[in-house]
């Protein structure tokens, strides 16, 4: 209905350069300091590959330990700048583990806020499509590149682990399955797992597990279509959403977790609407985090299709617009390369728009293929870099590789905050992150320690690095 109204005059309304302003270089700079090299993944006895680092986190137990995962199956603990295997998830789960594509494998993990006492943490990984009966099966027709109907790609599984000794640096304990989601395509799977670090024991949000789920992807088919299965706006599927569950509850359909009664759709009269949904209309919410200072804002990044990368404020019940919107524009569901202005009556649709965004402008000196994808980070609340306090730090993990910052206080619904490029120094030399890792793709991810200091990892070289103060900040 909306498209009939907006597209009546496509030729005059189409936008070719949605954000003509270029991102300026910042006065703020930081250094990048190597911490540890994670061992290579052993694929076969005769083959090794760089570890596919995807997540770095602390336990919040006062130990100062950091944990980082290799998507090929291992979780490492970092103590005194040395890494050792904490757990081999692939070996423990054995049957069905699937890391066949770049977006499959052991993807994310999160420690329960009471890990020090209860030893509980959560992981998400991929399994073969026939491993078990999914709690959320795909109920739509899946088409491959040849235009033929195919079966689903795989299943994503959330596991609860309970270690017998939370202080130990090697896992020993038990696990149980929480939920299992069938994925139509290999790309755009379950994203980050996380707990609100600002919630206190008696708060309604304390111990509630947030799960970011992408829209199920398309594996490149149809090439130009946006959200081909229309999952973003469909409240009967968990795909394209932020889910919120109580892992200790039991009122879910499978009886393995709880649906919090304060979730926005927990009491919806439509039986098809999932009570687990906390927010929806997302394409690929790769990362989310909470500011541990200020107003405690929740920040959700959403990877764009062909044109726009987004930073959104997390809001209960929000509809972020995918696949009717990309950034603050209307999209053509049949052509990913086309954007249109918002209609005059846009407010009636109730979409929540990004508070900061950037587009896919290709550098003039770039040769070959080029892709852009936002890598969500954290609001800096450490002590080592005073000029960075209150800045949301993020980057681009595809072929752009730039680091950015934006003041968290300027991230306000209804406005667009100004993004600046963070200057990076390797010793006394200003460099790009791509130069630091020696690659044309950054595959950068962010993590944070108990002191609020920010770390970066890269799948390109399997190293963990720390953001440190640079003497070249002009402040």
What's the pLDDT tens digit per position in 167-193?
999 999 999 999 999 999 999 999 999
User: What is the predicted pLDDT for the residue at 6?
Assistant: 41
User: What is the predicted pLDDT for the residue at 334?
Assistant: 81
- For 351, other C-beta atoms within 10 Å of its C-beta total 17
Between the alpha carbon of residue 383 and those of residues 124, 273, 380, the distances in Å are: 32, 45, 9
What does the alpha-carbon distance between residue 333 and residue 312 come to, in Å, rounded to a whole number?
22
- Residue 2 pLDDT > 50: no
Which stretches of 252-361 are DSSP H helices? Answer: none
Q: Between vectors from CA 400 to CA 106 and to CA 13, what angle results, nearest 5°?
A: 110
* Spatial CA neighbour of 471 closest among 387, 353, 393, 395: 387
Confidence of residue 9 (pLDDT cuts 50, 70, 90): very low
| Long-range interactions of 265-271: CB distance < 8 A, separation 24+ | 265/235, 265/317, 268/235, 270/235
CATH superfamily of the 25-469 domain: TolB, C-terminal domain (2.120.10.30)
Q: Is the dihedral of CA 459, 462, 463, 466 positive or negative?
A: positive
| Mean pLDDT computed over 52-57 | 97
What does the alpha-carbon distance between residue 378 and residue 358 come to, in Å, rounded to a whole number?
18
Task: Please give the order of strands across the beta sheet that includes 241-245.
Answer: 190-195, 209-213, 241-245, 277-280
Confidence of residue 84 (pLDDT cuts 50, 70, 90): very high
What does the alpha-carbon distance between residue 275 and residue 238 come to, in Å, rounded to a whole number?
10
Percent of the chain whose pLDDT exceeds 90: 80
Distance of CA 335 to the CA centre of its chain: 25
What does the alpha-carbon distance between residue 67 and residue 84 come to, in Å, rounded to a whole number?
10
| Mean pLDDT computed over 456-468 | 97
What does the alpha-carbon distance between residue 378 and residue 451 come to, in Å, rounded to a whole number?
13
User: What is the predicted pLDDT for the residue at 33?
Assistant: 95
The DSSP output letter for 409 is G
Contacts of 294 (CB under 8 A, 6+ apart): 379, 390, 408, 409
User: What is the predicted pLDDT for the residue at 11?
Assistant: 40
Q: What is the mean pLDDT of the chain?
A: 93
Least confident of 24-28, 96-100, 113-117, 272-276: 96-100
Contact 187, 160 (CB under 8 A): no
* Spatial CA neighbour of 411 closest among 328, 355, 351: 355
What does the alpha-carbon distance between residue 22 and residue 328 come to, in Å, rounded to a whole number?
17
| Mean pLDDT computed over 316-333 | 95
User: What is the predicted pLDDT for the residue at 212?
Assistant: 98
- Residue 12 pLDDT > 60: no
* Spatial CA neighbour of 310 closest among 243, 361, 360: 360
State how beta strands 277-280 and 287-290 pair: unpaired
- Residue 1 pLDDT > 70: no
What does the alpha-carbon distance between residue 221 and residue 226 come to, in Å, rounded to a whole number?
10
What does the alpha-carbon distance between residue 310 and residue 376 come to, in Å, rounded to a whole number?
10
């Amino acid at each position: 209905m909306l498209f009939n109204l907006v597209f009546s005059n496509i030729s005059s309304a189409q936008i070719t350069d949605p954000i003509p302003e270029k991102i300026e270089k910042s006065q703020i700079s930081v250094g990048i300091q190597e911490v540890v090299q994670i061992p290579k993944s052993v694929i076969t006895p005769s083959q090794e590959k760089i570890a596919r680092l995807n997540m770095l986190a602390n336990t919040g137990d006062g130990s100062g330990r950091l944990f980082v995962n290799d998507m090929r199956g291992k979780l490492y603990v970092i103590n005194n700048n040395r890494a050792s295997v904490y757990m081999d998830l692939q070996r423990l789960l054995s049957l069905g583990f699937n890391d066949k594509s770049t977006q499959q494998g052991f993807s994310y993990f999160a420690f329960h806020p009471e890990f020090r006492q209860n030893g509980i943490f959560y992981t998400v990984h991929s399994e073969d499509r026939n491993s078990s009966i999914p709690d959320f099966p795909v109920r739509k027709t899946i088409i491959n590149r040849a235009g033929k109907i195919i079966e689903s790609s795989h299943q994503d599984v959330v596991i609860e682990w309970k270690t017998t000794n939370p202080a130990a640096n090697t896992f020993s304990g038990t696990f149980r399955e929480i939920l299992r989601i069938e994925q139509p395509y290999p790309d755009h799977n379950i994203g980050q797992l996380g707990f609100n670090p600002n919630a206190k024991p008696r708060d309604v949000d304390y111990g509630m597990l947030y799960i970011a789920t992408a829209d199920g992807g398309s594996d490149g088919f149809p090439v130009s279509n946006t959200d081909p299965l229309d999952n973003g706006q469909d409240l009967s599927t968990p795909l394209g959403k932020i889910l919120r569950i109580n892992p200790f509850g039991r009122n879910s359909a499978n009886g393995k977790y709880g649906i919090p009664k304060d979730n926005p759709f927990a009491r919806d009269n439509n039986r098809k609407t999932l009570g687990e949904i906390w927010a929806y209309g997302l394409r690929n919410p790769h990362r989310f985090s909470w500011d541990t200072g200020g107003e405690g804002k929740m920040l959700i990044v959403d990877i764009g299709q062909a044109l726009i990368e987004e930073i959104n404020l997390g809001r209960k019940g929000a509809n972020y617009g995918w696949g009717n919107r990309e950034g603050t524009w209307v999209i053509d569901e049949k052509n990913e390369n086309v954007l249109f202005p918002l209609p005059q009556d846009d407010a009636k649709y109730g979409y929540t728009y990004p508070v900061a965004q950037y587009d896919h402008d290709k550098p003039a000196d770039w040769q070959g293929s080029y892709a852009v994808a936002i890598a969500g980070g954290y609001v800096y609340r450490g002590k080592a870099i005073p000029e960075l306090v209150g800045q949301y730090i993020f980057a681009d993990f595809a072929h752009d590789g730039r680091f950015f910052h934006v003041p968290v206080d300027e991230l306000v619904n209804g406005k667009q905050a100004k993004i600046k490029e963070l200057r990076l120094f390797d010793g006394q030399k200003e460099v790009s992150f791509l130069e630091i890792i020696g690659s044309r793709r950054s595959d950068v991810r962010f993590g944070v320690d108990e002191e609020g200091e920010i770390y970066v990892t890269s799948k390109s070289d399997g190293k963990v690095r720390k953001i440190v103060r640079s003497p070249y900040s002009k402040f």
